[in-house]
Structure 1
Amino acid sequence: MLREASRFFEELKGKKIAVVGMGVSHFDLIRLLIGKGLDVIVCDKRTEEQLLQSYAENYRALSALGAEFSLGEGYTAAFREADIIFRTPGMNYFTPELAEARKNGRVVTSEMEVFFDLCPCKIYAVTGSDGKTTTTTLISEFLKAEGKTVHLGGNIGKALLPAIESIRPEDAAVVELSSFQLISMRQSPDVAVVTNVAPNHLDVHKTMEEYISAKKNLFLHQNAFSRTVLNLDNDITRGFAPEVRGELSCFSRTQRVCNGAYLREDGTLIRVVQGEEQEIIHKDDIKLPGMHNVENYLTAISAVSDEVSAETIRKVAMEFGGVEHRIELVRTLDGVRYYNDSIATSPTRTIAGLKAFDQKLIVIAGGYDKKIPYEPLAPYINERVKVLVLLGATAPKIEKAVTEDPSYRPEELTILHAGTLEEAVEKAREAAKAGDVVTLSPASASFDLYLNFEQRGQHFKRIVHALQ
């Protein structure tokens, strides 16, 4: 039920609010709540010493504002005295501590759930196993180029609830949502976009079925006046179609669609609105490299339907250079191009990155183990990679999948191991010659060595820029 933000914050007066996590997405939320005169306790599993190492400025700022803290191993003890708990997306909704809180009558919510409840403008929301961030950004770029005031956030890195009172009904909100955010959501956006679904985050979700169910929450609560965009080339998302309540819009690289966008055989992106076809742009004129980015454009075009002109889409496609950490050209040194594809936290994402180039690559891969299979990645590595530098917890799993695949040819693929990212870059550099491409495309999460993929990508870029 839509409520005015001012009334919502007034209703929170006199209640104890626990906010889990003091990271990027919750810092502004905590400041907002304190600024409204609310009683806030910050719950974080990190100790004070650890917060002073990583978030010293934020920790001191919140302390000065009067926030209470519940830190370290027993940080969830504060749930017992809280009336409302804002969980972080990284905290599993089904943890015993949250289950106990709900059982005892506590309100368990999230920044994004409340934002959806209060947002006065049209919401475009994107989820999927791969392509979420680029697609979300493209939708935002389309709408901005068309003259809209756009509020971009969610899993893409910015909390939107702190800006809720400045959002006007004529604006647009474009958000990226992960399965962790969606698992407890019971409100859907005006436009719901599912890029694709493949095995991911099975270290957190109990089963693949739970993961799929979380993704479906994006559109299951829509009304008849909404729009859902589905990938016709993905078996799982294609199967969602019968459950769509509003307008169904599809995209495909392989076949025509009745409503949405598709790639014609001659390489032209075609927009289809209620059966009427319109040529948009040839794939070779898109600045972003790779067929997966063609797919991202088809997705974004379907999301905005006829709300954005073909001229605007063409302008964005020819000028937009991409999002950081997504096949981002870092540097050319001695004729070797170094790319940062740290966003590639899954095999399917790495496969897309490998397909973006028309030559064999030198690839740095490996990281935290999300308990997902690497066998689907193996034939692509054997076909498209000439030197594979592995590190992190998943290194043995990736190597096993690659070497046991029937396509493996040891004389055509060199596999190296490194203990650190610095060592991995050095080994890649030693193996490279002029004309080669070195790409960080981990096929794994970053949590074994870094807080997130952004931090990993930034470290990679510093290492590459330091090369002499």
Structure 2
Amino acid sequence: MRYLLIGWTRRTSFETAKVLLAREAEVYVSDTVDNEEKQALLRELNHPRLFSLLGRQSKDILDEVQPDVVMPSPGVPLTIPLIEEAKKRGIPVFGDIELFYRFHPEVYYYAITGTDGKTTTTTLSHALISAYKPALVGGNIGTAIFEHEAAVASVKEMVLELSSFQLEEIVNFRPRIAAFLNLAEDHLDRYPDLDAYFEAKKRIFLNQTPDDVAIVNADSPYFEQVTAGVKSRILTFSRKSRADMMFYDGGIYYGEKLLVKQEELKLKGVHNIENVMAASLVALMAGVPMEVIQNTLREFRGLEHRLELVGSYNGVEVYNDSKATTVNALEKALESFDVPVILIAGGLDKGLDFTLVKGLVYKKVKTVILLGQAAEKIDSAWQFPHTTKVPSLEVAVETAFSHAKPGEVILFSPGCASFDMFKNYEERGRAFKAFVQKRQG
């Protein structure tokens, strides 16, 4: 077999190439960029059946390589001419999730998608399941699925976080349990509109059967669209109404049975109530006993960069929510506080509508500090009277502390991507924490 990998990165295509070469395939790698980092990945594999097309991504590659399969990395839009031409010629086009599924259809897959909360819910689902039986975790969460190629020989259950980009690239992939957490504006720099983004997300249910389970947020304004045409058994969770998993009277209930009280959870934030409910449904459907779920929920501390408490300084609590790269995530963060907030926001705009949280900003926020490429757009959308624009994250931290009084909260929840100033949201979050600790000595 001859595979053409489009987009050459360590996170996805490198691991795919490694497995394909071990299976005696020919592998060609195409990327618009040809630099030392990408050349180093080629040298690391150093294989006679690995061929470089770095710096090239034109349609004529198809005549040269004549691939049996074209595999784009998730970051590569399926609308580039090379991929459109491959589809026109009838060459199969799919991603690493689909290929892994074809190699290992016997694995029991749990898949989680949504605009926000995917990583926390995926991590928590894995923690709940693996507290009872062996399970793997991967996908968009940062572990390429092919890193588990050896492990699936003995472990047959896998929890996957799936982005809309990854779901665009599936064909036959069938998760036995699939959760669609929520939908809000995101990636409108890649998709023409919200409907196109939604259609990509909904592909998570594409190949499910009546023997499978679909877990859906009953509070979503898109609930009817999400569940329309779904062939699997639908289970719901809700913070506001009747559902299979509900939050009321300060607790999370499965039917009439109390699962856990909110005060017992170490996770902060209203959005995490939803994440806990979704993950608990995944685990229950995976056969994990209620008692195991309860004990694990009480110990789970959440993830770095997701409404993470950095510390309390002279009565001012500081939270790092660098993972909030959408307006929806920013909204959920603001909803989590009942004390005045000094908000640090901004970064790289993804074509989102910041006016959606204007009312909440006026209700919750004392001071807004804006930075990055989107600062002017956000300022124009909110027109908040107590707004300061700053040139860097370090200056933002200094400014926030100068405005904060005991009993208030400094919240870094950008609502934007990081790429205008940082490599990714993790680097941005670590920088924020370092500036806070430097400021406090």
Structure-1-length-normalised TM-score: 0.86
Can you list the C-alpha shifts for 1:40-77, whole angstroms capped at 9, x where unaligned?
A: 2332333314x3xxx78646424588743333365776
Ranges in structure 2 where 5+ consecutive residues have no aligned partner: none
**What one-letter code is carried by the residue in structure 1 that aligns with 2:117?**
G
**C-alpha deviations, 1:84-132, integer Å up to 9, x for none?**
3221111111222210122234332211111222332211101111111
- CA distance, structure 1, for counterparts of residue 329 and residue 349 of structure 2: 15
Compute the displacement of 1:243 (Å): 1.5
Residues 121-160 of structure 1 aligned to structure 2 (within 5 Å): 121-146=107-132, 148-160=133-145
Alignment pair present for 1:456 and 2:428: yes
CA distance in 1 between counterparts of 2:260 and 2:316 reads 31
Task: Find out whether 1:271 has 2:242 as its counterpart.
Answer: no
> Structure 1 residues 144 and 109, CA, compared in 2 at 3 Å: closer, same or farther?
same
Alpha-carbon spacing, 1:456–1:64, altered in 2? closer, same or farther (3 Å): farther
Give secondary structure in 2 for the equivalent of 1:249.
strand
1:347 to 327, 332, 354: 327
Matched ranges for 1:228-377 at <5 A: 228-257=214-243, 260-264=244-248, 266-272=249-255, 277-305=256-284, 307-377=287-357
For 1:185-196, list aligned pairs within 5 A: 185-186=170-171, 187-196=173-182
What is residue 107 of structure 1 aligned with on the other side?
Answer: 92
Q: What's the secondary structure of 1:109's corresponding residue?
A: coil
2:80 is aligned with what amino acid? T
Indicate which of 357, 361, 365 corresponds to 1:381: 361
Q: How far, CA to CA, are the matches of 2:40 and 2:431 in structure 1?
A: 21
1:415 to 384, 387, 390: 387
Once the two structures are superposed, residues 357-414 of structure 1 have per-residue CA deviations (whole angstroms, 9 ceiling, x without a partner) of 22111121111121121111111111111121111222122112211xxxx5x3xxx2
Q: Report deviation, 1:334.
A: 4.4
Aligned partners of 1:203 and 1:19: how far apart in 2?
A: 20
Q: Of the candidates 379, 393, 397, which is equivalent to residue 373 of structure 2?
A: 393
Distance 1:261 1:92 in 2: 36
Q: How does 1:201-240 map to 2 (within 5 A)?
A: 201-240=187-226
Tell me the secondary structure at the aligned position of residue 355 of structure 2: coil
Q: Which SS does the other structure have where 2:354 is aligned?
A: coil
1:225 to 1:59, Cα distance in 2 relative to 1, 3 A: same
Structure 1 runs of 4+ off > 6 angstroms? none
- The alignment status of 1:47 with 2:34, answered yes or no, reads yes
Per-residue deviation at 1:319?
0.8
Q: Distance in 2 between matches of 1:76 and 1:322?
A: 45
Q: Matched residue of 2:306: which SS?
A: coil
How many Å separate the matches in 2 of 1:197 and 1:256? 20
- What is the deviation of 1:291? 1.4
TM-score, structure 2 length as denominator? 0.91
Q: Distance in 2 between matches of 1:99 and 1:417?
A: 43
Corresponding residue of 2:52? 69
Question: Gaps spanning 5+ residues in structure 1: where?
Answer: 1-11
Contact 1:188–1:217 (8 Å) recurs in 2: no
CA drift at 1:27: 2.7
Q: Could you tell me which amino acid in structure 2 is paired with residue 299 of structure 1?
A: A
1:378 and 1:116 mapped to 2: Cα distance?
A: 43
Tell me, in whole angstroms, the C-alpha distance in 2 between the residues paired with 1:26 and 1:103. Answer: 23
Identity rate of aligned residues, in percent? Answer: 33
Structure 1 position 165, deviation (Å): 4.1
Offset of residue 144 of structure 1: 0.8
Contact map agreement 2:93 2:169 (CA 8 A) in 1: no
